[in-house]
Structure 1
Amino acid sequence: MKKDKINLITLGCSKNTVDSERLLKQLRINKFQITDDPQKSDTIIINTCGFIEAAKKESVDTIVNAVNMKKQGLVRRVLVIGCLSERYKKDLEKEIPEVDNYFGVEKYNEIVESLGGHLKYELLGERHLTAPSHYAYLKISEGCDNPCSFCAIPIMRGLHKSRPMHELLEEARFLASKGTKELIIIGQDTTDYGKDICGKRNIAELLNKLSTIKGIDWIRLMYAYPSHFPDDLIDEIANNPKVVKYLDIPLQHISDNVLKSMRRGITKRRTIQLLSDLKNRIPDLVLRTTFIVGYPAETESAFSELADFISSFKFQRLGVFTYSLEEDTPAFPIGDKFSDRIKEKRLNSLMQIQQSVSRDFNNSLIGSDIKVIVDRLEGDYYICRSFREAPEVDGEILVNAAENHLKIGNFYYVNVNDADDYDLFANLKKT
């Protein structure tokens, strides 16, 4: 019997990317053909995101487009998996019944069996990489124990579950064997790693053991939670040469009243103390954070406090999101206090501050020699990153392809000769 040709569409965050890569590996083991073109497929699988309203809309629009292709006879089946169907399965079955099957999060066995295959449990740690093979995401946990009032992740992904360390080390060795040089550590809360399986947070130990794997040169930590940041993690980042001096630590706000309403478990004073410790103990640390504007408790004075904090602290990397009212979250009964216009105005105001901060930081790097990894060739430029840039969310380093000949996935030293607000321009360093 001929196996389906499958197109897998991944929406949302890097954690969804890892889930899709695991599923793709199982599909390939079962001899299914994979295509990047939906119109050349028999079955479309959509791995959805249900985190905020914009993500839900994108997921629903993608489902509707796939269903329309099915109605036109272009594909035979449409499967929907991931966060949106975990959270809204009954509603989706009622509203879009043309979808053949809805599956929740990490339902690999059910998905593969619905297609006529069999799950190979012993290979669940293996993945078919969809990103460039020189960097890969390592998802160390699932779910989240933090009670943030605005967040629906525990509803969709459950409580925090750390993956056993030996499994993660085995997966990292597999990734290294496929050419991965940069491991990007992800999870809903990476700083909580280990507390459920060995009684303590041991993310520092995990990073240390990952750094012993041959072929892994950079280890980048994302999604660190500020209220329980382990002290030994600061030392590990500072002292381990393979752990890049870069940290993603979403703060969400700085006003004490807003932080309390958000149930973040931290105060402004403690936040500033943690950030000061990080900067003092980790030389050349690059900090990335995210903030939410338009949360119901964010008064004008609270917003001004946040703007002043961003202006004075000068994060090298920063993102801002507008508040999204989510059903079944603790903040839902409060309602949505601010209009979209006010939220967007606040977002733009903060990003204008950050644009200036980023421009000054980039200008300070002109003339310096930096180590970069080459991600891709795009038009006239090689697109590169240093330890200061995470893929997909930060700026990039552009190296003129006409004057320089580089190999994708390799490390080089370049000299920065120009900068704009978010990107750098460089040439290969002359030896």
Structure 2
Amino acid sequence: MEEFIKWCKARGYKFDGLEITCPPGNCGNGIYATTGFRTGKPIITLPEHDMINSALVVDLPFYKKKLAKINEKMKPMEILTMFFSFEDFEQSAWSPYLKVLPKTFDTPAFKGIDYDVNTLPLSIRKYWIDQKKEISEISEKLRHLFPELTHDKILWAWHVVNTRCIFVENEEHDNVDNSDGDTIAVIPYVDMLNHDPEKYQGVALHEKRNGRYVVQAKRQIQEGEQIFVCYGAHDNARLLVEYGFTLPQNLGAKVLIPQEVLLTLAKIAGIKLTREHEMVLEEVGLPSHLYATDEGPSWSLRTNVRVMLLEHWQMANGRWKKIIYSHDPIDDEVDQKIDEKLEIMLKELRNGVVEKTKKMPNETKWMWEEQVKVCDVAIESLEKSIKEKEEERKEEERRAEESKATEEVEKSEE
């Protein structure tokens, strides 16, 4: 690590007041503050030419020569995977950095675990399919173009890029296939910042005007704190598949509810649906998912249920838009009906998830159990809200009766 720190400083990196050490739990290196940082103060800065992106790689003499022979443009992920596949740990100009990279990864793909896609929750299913496809296609392509590379080496290199890359809006390069965009870069030192979606203090910025990449403090950082960034609002299944770790208390947990599932739940709840309802739902285009961070069903889910409760005359000629997007408070009777239907739908959804959980193998059962917890929180929050609304209605009725009684007394005295 000392060699890496010297290498960074020699290249113009600035990170005074920080140290890299292994946090409790032996989960890899982390970056800690050895001094306090004020809000907005730079924590890490480095020259932009040290951002390892596709443009940097294709302009290096070694790769420029190799790519000239194949006469084919490659995509950014392919280029960065190629880079880490070829770079020699001893001879490379990036040697001190390469030596501190992990030798293995705890992702299912690296360990050779092949999940049956039907045992995965919807929240991770598509990502798993796409990840397997991408690894396979990149490995096949690179081994075809460069027979000296092995699948194991490419798998390791792909994981370096996938687990450590950072979103950066790169400039287009004539020798890069930018058809799918170019928004990834691997940035030494910065890539050692660990993930915490709740208490992260670092915000990363590419300051093109100043020609540097900066991580700033989004809030005050105390001496001794580990510094975190946020990789995204991912549930634990996504974190495991993409990065190889999970969080004990992850507010990124979610349950995806596709429209066909929503419609089925609505019918079970006794809502009479027509094709007109389905067309309006499609036009509204709001997700019905449950999130661990939500205090009960989201506005989107409630709005979808409200749409499904509309009468034909309320939907005709686009009238539904004035109803759905109005800022006027929802009529109590309608609101009560939405709550009633939602409670049935969420309990039915939970029962369905529980039944699926029972049938799942141990390796994916925990993913479904987390989804059950999300359903439980949503139902508990909804029931609490219903109870509070009922108490408010009773209190309003009591006040109305008292007011009426007072008026009658006053009239009788007159």
Alignment TM class, shorter chain as reference: under 0.3
Q: Which has the larger share of strand? A: 1
Larger Rg: 2
**Which structure's relative contact order is higher, taking Cα pairs within 8 Å and 6+ residues apart?**
2
Q: TM-score, normalised by structure 1?
A: 0.23
Q: TM-score, normalised by structure 2?
A: 0.23
